[in-house]
Chain A
């Protein structure tokens, strides 16, 4: 039997709105995000579970996670 296909996600960061507070990266349960200078970057997209917590806690409307 084959494993059900893993759900894939796409993370959009609005570089004009991100203020680099680090909240999304610090609270991501699977360490998908990391600060890259003054804005956040995606370092481990494969581990993203689409939980939406980064978006929910971003104070700046700067990050959203879409099904791929």
Chain B
């Protein structure tokens, strides 16, 4: 694997604009995402984070399932695997075992990761294999026209909850931590520079890193819930609906009601799966 450069320290605004072109497949833009879809903003944060790691493009593999979010690998110039709905983590696990030196980054949606893929999700966290799991959480099944997902907030309208959802939601970070992920964090498309740093930390972490990334689906979630503008949707859920850890530390339990906390929320160390597997092989071979 290539040597890792020191993280970029020059403040972004001092620089000329970031050149995304070397990370994008030629001739693939415009992408299929709707006007104002948050997935494009998250993709750009991911590319800047990868650039900051100094990793070689060929040492990275992006693996996804099915959904609008899972279309991401089609646009980028890394090793990519666009797999089947809910099973991105099964493919990623196989890939990582076969090629343990690859940096595996999984792009998945709230539906892909937590509904159909929920079982794979908890067991991937349990194994603590070295990979980054980015859950693009737009509170809905975007691709199939707006059905409820395990993160659709109570009271909100979807194709399958015409009078408002009555189901309690999954907190991606709580589940990941409970299931054994060794780094857990949250970011939003609105806080795209902070997100870049959070993704950087997740990629550099050894073990399973899970990020709950809040972004928006203006076409279904926004329209169904009568939020007119793309920006307004970002303001309500991402800007006003979240607080940084520093802000949260100064808030009372009442003030924190209904707010999600951003940043790296959990970080610990546990044996990494591929390393344990290597040891097991050596033992079995009598080495």
Contacts and interface: CB of A to CB of B under 8 A. Distances in A.
A17 interface: yes
Interface stretch (B57-65, B188-196, B206-214): B188-196
A51 interface: yes
A59 B17 contact: no
B229 A52 contact: no
Given A26-B229, A59-B40, A66-B16, A16 B35 contact: no
B180 interface: no
* Majority secondary structure of chain B interface residues (helix, strand, loop or mixed): loop
* Majority secondary structure of chain A interface residues (helix, strand, loop or mixed): loop
A59 B17 CA distance: 15
A21 to B, nearest CB: 4
Q: Chain B contact residues (Cβ within 8 angstroms of A): what range?
A: 20 to 34
A5 B241 CA distance: 40
Contacts of A59: 33, 36-41, 44, 189
A41 interface: no
A19 B31 CA distance: 10
Interface of A: 16-17, 19-23, 26-27, 50-52, 55-61, 64-67
Q: 3 shortest A-B CB distances, which residue pairs?
A: A59-B40, A21-B36, A26-B231
